[in-house]
Structure 1
């Protein structure tokens, strides 16, 4: 008799077991070839990983309709809903797409358009994984995105780890994945833009209220006591952007590159043009 309800922690366990199994195969292969001349395997590393993932797919999902991690926990996909076309889509997403991205990173490093395309593709995939994980926490079905897209439902013959699926273990594993989710989301944020928006809000507080005037901004002046408006150190290669404050060249250009709407942290003037400071 099959079990339709499968605890979330058991499904997440199977995903992590699959990832660890792939890493184990890679480590064994690299251990076996460690005495080869350095650099021999590097050019064909994407093909080696493609071979490992293809073998894992062939002897697990293709033959058994479940991954090795799912087999360890007595889970499997519903066979009546796992057609040949879904098998090919599953392989293309979990194996083929990774190979194409890795091969492009190895062979087309100097092609900015290709690199930008795969960077955007990876960003979309991360966003999809985040949204799918939030949906999985709520519904308890489809722990990975491709399962949700293809509608691959899981069944269980028995719960092999009932002693580990108590509330404390479930809470620990879910929090672990949630922290990873937060880390992934933070990596997609524009921290410079968030800092600027927060600074624009705090500027209305009484302890940071800037002195404003209706007149045009004063021209920048530099003395022995002048410091960079960003790092508060003596300006290195002084530059300005239209207000009365002086910046280090690297401080100003780095902030403007990361955030085009970067404003002076002292007077909140948003200058668009960066020029070298020249002593009058």
Structure 2
């Protein structure tokens, strides 16, 4: 009789086994071609990965309705609701979409519009994975987003790791997934903008007075003691943004590109016009 309840740790472990299996095949492929002429396989690398993932899909999901990782842990998808159309959609999501993204990255590296579209799609997928992982932790079902979308249920012939005695291993696996989730969330956060908002909030909480500078750019004076407010080093390619402080060009532009409301760390002036510093006199 099939068992419907499967521990969360076992389901997560099957996903890691699938990832490690794919990396193992890639490693073997690169080992067999390491004596080829450098750069020979690089243009067709997405196609090689497509063939590899398709081969894995053919001998796992297509033939046995379970991945190799699930098979090693005695799990499989329930066949009563796993139709042929769902199998094709599973292939499109797990194999074909990854190939299209890799090929676009290789072929349209300099196309800003294509790269922006890819970044938006990837962010949407990451948000979906995060929400699905939080739902999975609560319910214990559908460890992957595609499982939830297609309504694929897992069953097992026997309970794998029924008696978990190695609690350190279990804790390590859970911490590993938590760290991955935290890293994914942080990658979606505008750290520069968040830092500015937190700084303003703390400044208000501590009742510190801060007044935005009304100094015009012409009053900026650069001396031998002048340092960039961002990196505290001698300004390289000096630029100003309307206050009395002189910035490095890259420090100022990097902060402006990351946060349009970037303010001067010294006087909290929110300058909009960035221009090169013009030496009017030597001090």
TM-score, with normalisation over the residues of structure 2?
A: 0.91
Say yes or no: does 1:21 pair with 2:17: no
Give the direction of change, closer, same or farther, for the CA distance of 1:163–1:35 in structure 2 (3 Å limit): farther
Match of 2:222 in 1: 222
TM-score, with normalisation over the residues of structure 1?
A: 0.92
Match of 2:259 in 1: 259
Give the direction of change, closer, same or farther, for the CA distance of 1:140–1:163 in structure 2 (3 Å limit): same
Distance 1:237 1:68 in 2: 56
Give the direction of change, closer, same or farther, for the CA distance of 1:272–1:159 in structure 2 (3 Å limit): same
Q: Secondary structure at the match of 2:261?
A: coil
Match of 1:212 in 2: 211
Give the direction of change, closer, same or farther, for the CA distance of 1:220–1:48 in structure 2 (3 Å limit): same
Give the direction of change, closer, same or farther, for the CA distance of 1:160–1:231 in structure 2 (3 Å limit): closer
1:125-204 equivalence runs, <5 A? 125-164=125-164, 167-204=167-204
Q: Any unmatched runs of 5+ in structure 2?
A: none
Q: Secondary structure at the match of 2:170?
A: helix
Match of 2:63 in 1: 63
Report if the CA contact (8 A) 1:109-1:115 is conserved: yes
Report if the CA contact (8 A) 1:235-1:246 is conserved: yes
Give the direction of change, closer, same or farther, for the CA distance of 1:240–1:17 in structure 2 (3 Å limit): same
Give 1:178 shift. Answer: 0.8
Report if the CA contact (8 A) 1:18-1:67 is conserved: yes
Q: In terms of mean alpha carbon deviation, does 160-169 or 37-46 score higher?
A: 160-169
Distance 1:168 1:140 in 2: 21
Q: In terms of mean alpha carbon deviation, does 255-264 or 242-251 score higher?
A: 242-251
Distance 1:73 1:25 in 2: 20
Match of 1:77 in 2: 77
Match of 1:108 in 2: 108
1:41-56 equivalence runs, <5 A? 41-56=41-56
Report if the CA contact (8 A) 1:76-1:155 is conserved: yes
Report if the CA contact (8 A) 2:192-2:255 is conserved: yes
Give the direction of change, closer, same or farther, for the CA distance of 1:261–1:177 in structure 2 (3 Å limit): same
